[in-house]
Amino acid sequence: MTGIDERMASAPAEVSLPQRRHILRKLRLLVHLVEGLATCALLFWWIGPVRKQALIQRWSRKLLALFRFSLVVHGEPAQGKDLAGSMLVSNHVSWIDIYAINSWHPPRFVAKSEIRSWPVIGWLCAQTGVLFVERARKRDAHRIMHDIAHALRGGDAICVFPEGTTSDGLQLLPFHANLFQAPVSAGAPIRPLALRYRVAATGELTTIPAYIGDLSMMDTINAILNGPPLVVEVLVGPAVAPEMDRRALAAHSQEAVAALINRAG
């Protein structure tokens, strides 16, 4: 092998333009995550709930922009005062769902307790008022029902994903009725939501953001960053009065969310 051949063999492969863009996007996401940590650590402990909601909304909207998502909201017009003391129920496709809903109106979410132990993400969730539940412990179900009902009575908007897991977003899984005892106890209205993801250029429904099966969070991040620009739709349904038992309320809410998912347009 000649000297020139040896130098060519040892030289690092040139990074392609798509690879450079991918790396740059990840660096921007990392910087944005650090900004979120700094905001929580330095500001959240002394600012009021209205200002905190505004910061969460702004941070979430920038996150969607970094992932090249456009947010579109359809359905019933609803502002903060319309959602106060309501339980929002939505289908669940991806971890990005939380930031799509936050970009529309930041509620408090209910999440599995395992997330609390995730590095960085768990701490961020706790700072934004997430209510954690240990789903494997029956006794904890009573505690979280009490906590949700108390928060609803206090005027908080609480968002839950009653499917209990994520799906591909093209179909709706059965709703678990347990969480619906809280709005029944608190006399709080239900606000059905639906999330749909589309390819921006074609309008086709897509499963690119889906966090399902054996996929890791990094798998979904790479799929989103390597894919085309997307649109996330938040479809808002009319409020449902809690004038039924939890099982009937869960079934009614499931039908309402399914109707939103299947809505034309």
Residues 6+ apart with CB under 8 A from 37: 120, 123, 124
The total of structural domains in the chain comes to 1
Of 61, 65, 76, the residue nearest 190 (C-alpha): 76
Is there a domain that residue 49 lies in? yes
- In which domain, by residue range, is 103 found? 17-261
Is there a domain that residue 32 lies in? yes
Average pLDDT over residues 5-9: 49
Average pLDDT over residues 225-234: 96
Q: What is the pLDDT of residues 28-64, one digit of tens each?
A: 999 999 999 999 999 998 999 999 999 999 999 999 9
* Residue 120: pLDDT over 80: no
Higher-pLDDT residue of 190, 133: 190
Higher-pLDDT residue of 123, 245: 245
* Residue 106: pLDDT over 70: yes
Specify the pTM.
0.90
C-alpha distance from residue 130 to each of 21, 111, 113 (Å)? 33, 7, 10
Is there a domain that residue 223 lies in? yes
| Residue 126, phi-psi category: left (phi > 0), alpha (psi -120 to 50), beta (remainder) | alpha
Q: In this structure, what CATH number is given to the domain that contains residue 249?
A: 3.40.1130
What pLDDT score does 19 carry? Answer: 84
Is there a domain that residue 7 lies in? no
